[in-house]
Structure 1
Amino acid sequence: MRDFFRRLKRYVQGTILLTLIALFWPQGADFNEMARERHDEDNTLQPNAPLRIGVSWPIAQRGDELINGMRLAINHSLEDQLLDGHAVELIIHDDEGTVQNAQKIATSFADDEEIDLVIGYANDNQAIAAGVIYQSARVLQMVVGAPTTQLATYNHPYLVRTLPTAKDFALKLSNSFDKPIKTFAVVLEKNGYWEEMASQFTIDQIKKGAKRAYFRTFPAELPPDYVRETLEIRNQNVDAILFAGNAVQAARFINKARAMGLTTPILCTTVDLETIEQTVRADTQNVILPGFYDPDAKTPANKRFLSDYLKTYETLPNGWAAQGYDALRLALTAIHESQSQKAADIAWTIRYMPDYKGATGLYRFTKQGDVEDKDVFLRTPRF
């Protein structure tokens, strides 16, 4: 019976992925021809050839810290003699956080024979939509901001993800209590990643003896106003609330719950601390989010990154700056190691790379291109 449900789960996941491919597949581009052209190229890294790297990121929404981190990575890689005389050119596009822009940008990158690597993507739908293009055109997609693990699940050869997994985030949140809790509530946005987070959190808490006393889901396209949810949770008198959803909805829930007098600790699955801080008007006491970067980490990699970022930009880096820095450093290390800039060579070199110590912590990759056992940190929003 367990095998049946495992096969059923894989079938459903496959059906969802095929549906997403059908929905997101852009018309008019001959990706097979693009792939053939890349396959026919000599994979030997030519002396002094420029390295053109695409960047797709919602700059107007999220800021340019990711880009700043990547530029610092270029400087450090030059100092460390990783570039072997090659200039690095970042081809930067603001995708504005939309699927349509992500597809257009991905198509333009795929059509550029000199671009074999693209870094970015801040949300799941963009990463999935662009990923369809990159897999077909044989371009390596390094996903640094979208939390989805669905792409890595299907063994795509031209994919590397650098965010911690849903399991890592969920277990960190579950272990955030000073003492065991007895009851908890879950408010869930229906989305594969958030569901995975909520499931992992629930399983771990039940193993510890806690009981899920309240559970409510809502479709992403039709979120509630959270009045009913707040009232029902208040009546249950739970010890903690897990809000599994995007940052905008998490902020709306926090505002409503606190305005209605609900003081219960709220754990949010989103890593987008900046949006929470900009949007929450209520008291953020007892609000906790997971994070992937600790600026106070005393590791040599982070001390160098933090010090030089401050000198260069005269401000503290955020998590996205660290993500951009680490992603490009990983890629340039792989190019140096493989002496190739072809997507497959870079991807496999990263996947088989020994443990890599970056600004955000230790990187250890699976053969599917996902990072495992990544450090996760807890954060509290502030005004």
Structure 2
Amino acid sequence: MCARSSLIAVIAALACTLPAAAQEPVKIGALLSISGPFASPSKDMLDGMQLALDHRDNKMGGRAATLILRDDQAKPELAVEAANRLIRGDRVDFITGAGLSNIMMAVYRPITSTETFLIGTNSGPAPVAGKDCSPYFISASWQNDQPAEVMGEYLTKKGVDDVFILAPNYQAGKDLLAGFKRTFKGKISGEVYTPLSQTDFSAEISRVRAANPKAVFVFYPGAWGVQWVKQYSQAGLQKKIPLYSSFTLDEVSIQAIGDASLGMFATAHWVGDINNPTNAKFVKDFRAKYGRAPSAYAAQGYDSIQLIGAAADALKGDLSDKNKIKAALREAKYSSVRGPYSYNTNNFPIQDFYLTNVEKRGDELVLNTVSKAVEKAKDVYAAECPMK
């Protein structure tokens, strides 16, 4: 009996010498729009995150790791409430997600002002990349303007000199069309921003028909994109006025769009056929786990968890020092599905971008790499960021 009491006392004493954080899991809040028009991309991000945790055996820095999901329903006011619950109620170490730019703009200050680390898995609003940058934000995706800049440059080189451009009326839509106009050297024959609640684009398609441009460029992610491409095709314009996009086409949306997406060109920083071992394993295991091909959204979700995990590993699970976490995130060594990349001073990736198109392989529609469009692209807003 005495021996047993002594053993219990020793165990209790050892437990008391361990940091409290080491006895708790690394908590990661996933703030995603699981409901609403951005549900499909958000589900892909979540599935990518969960696969990354599977690959890490749900461990980071020698500690258990757990994902706490909060659905913001694509509504900024609900996103702020959900972020506050994650910070004050769940006491998370990191928050990831905030996939829509209006969600990111709503939660950015409430999260970073509490010195909680926010890992962006999709949206990269211009203010966040520029004058409002924060050491508590780091992107695992891209800055909003960049994919459209790539497309504007491509169409200019192709000799297209007259383009009609459209996007939803929110931060990302404005950023992407600004990016397109920055690099496209031809005429903009029309520029339209549609309400976030709109899914019937017949009036806008009539305006395109009347303008009769050489091409149309759109940024319509998620359900918006599915509806736009279907309606554009049904109007009979696709064969007359070629349609180009950034983040309207992904591996999930093209299945919903169907053959109307065949031959369409898009730009992205990740494609399923990028040739590296990490990406091959990611694509294979994602298909095995979920029964479908991963999209760039899934790849971003996967990388966000690997980024956090690499930082936690480097710190051996000790997340008590915010300055050390900042440095560990910036210097994190992990194998990204997109291949090697680095960080600019504003905590956005310096990375390659690709031109892609939709092809059919057997019965499946796939996004295929046409070419590497830009190497080691930097966003234009880093110069405005006061961080060094």
The TM-score range, normalised by the shorter chain, is: 0.7 to 0.9
**CA 1:267–1:128 in 2, change beyond 3 Å: closer, same or farther?**
same
Q: What's the offset of the Cα at 1:133?
A: 1.5
- Return the alpha-carbon distance in structure 2 between the equivalents of residues 252 and 271 of structure 1: 10
* 1:129 is the counterpart of 2:87: no
Equivalent-residue separation in structure 1 for 2:119 and 2:103 (angstroms):
13
CA contact (8 A) 1:55 1:91 kept: yes
What pairs up with 1:265-284 in 2 under 5 angstroms?
Answer: 265-271=242-248, 273=250, 276-277=253-254, 280=257, 283-284=260-261
1:83 aligns with 2:63: no
Change (3 A) 1:335 1:380: same
Cα offset for 1:110?
1.3
Q: Aligned match of 1:337 in 314, 331, 351?
A: 314
**Does the CA contact (< 8 Å) of 2:94 and 2:118 recur in 1?**
yes
Comparing 312-321 and 84-93, the one that deviates more? 312-321
- The residue aligned with 1:70 is 49
Contact 1:110 1:133 in 2 (8 A): no
Unaligned stretches of 5+ in structure 2? 1-18, 360-364, 367-388
Matched, 1:55 2:30: yes
* Count of residue pairs the alignment pairs up: 333
Question: Is 1:241 the counterpart of 2:206 in the alignment?
Answer: no
Matched, 1:326 2:303: yes
* Aligned position for 2:175: 196
**Are the counterparts in 1 of residues 152 and 182 from structure 2 also a CA contact under 8 Å?**
no
The CA distance in 2 between the partners of 1:224 and 1:78, in whole Å, is: 41
Tell me the residue number matched to 1:185: 164
Counterpart in the other structure of 1:378: 356
* Root-mean-square deviation over aligned CA pairs: 3.3
**How much has 1:347 moved relative to structure 2?**
3.3
Contact 2:310 2:332 in 1 (8 A): no
Distance 1:246 1:310 in 2: 22
Judged with a 3 Å threshold, the aligned counterparts in structure 2 of structure 1 residues 331 and 219 are, in CA distance, closer, same or farther, namely: same
Shift of 1:323: 1.7
- Contact (CA 8 Å) 2:31, 2:70: kept in 1 or not? yes
* 1:271–1:189 CA distance, 2 compared to 1 (3 A): closer
Question: Partner of 2:234 in structure 1?
Answer: 259
* Residues 1:312 and 1:380: Cα distance change in structure 2 (over 3 Å): closer
Query: How far apart are the structure 2 equivalents of 1:336 and 1:271?
Result: 36
Q: How far does residue 157 in structure 1 lie from its aligned partner after superposition?
A: 2.2
Residue by residue over 1:213-239, the C-alpha shift from the partner in whole angstroms, topping out at 9 and shown as x without a partner, is x12323535859655543443344422
Aligned to 2:187: 211
Mapped contact 1:164–1:374 kept (Cα < 8 A): no
**Structure 1: runs of 5 or more not aligned:** 1-43
Contact 1:248 1:275 in 2 (8 A): no
Pair 216,155 (structure 1): closer, same or farther in 2 beyond 3 Å = closer
Overall identity of the aligned pairs, in %: 18
2:119–2:304 Cα contact (<8 Å) kept = yes
Give runs of aligned pairs for residues 293-308 of structure 1, distance below 5 A: 293-308=270-285
Q: Secondary structure at the match of 1:118?
A: strand
Match of 1:151 among 128, 139, 159: 128
Following superposition, the deviation at residue 159 of structure 1 comes to 0.9
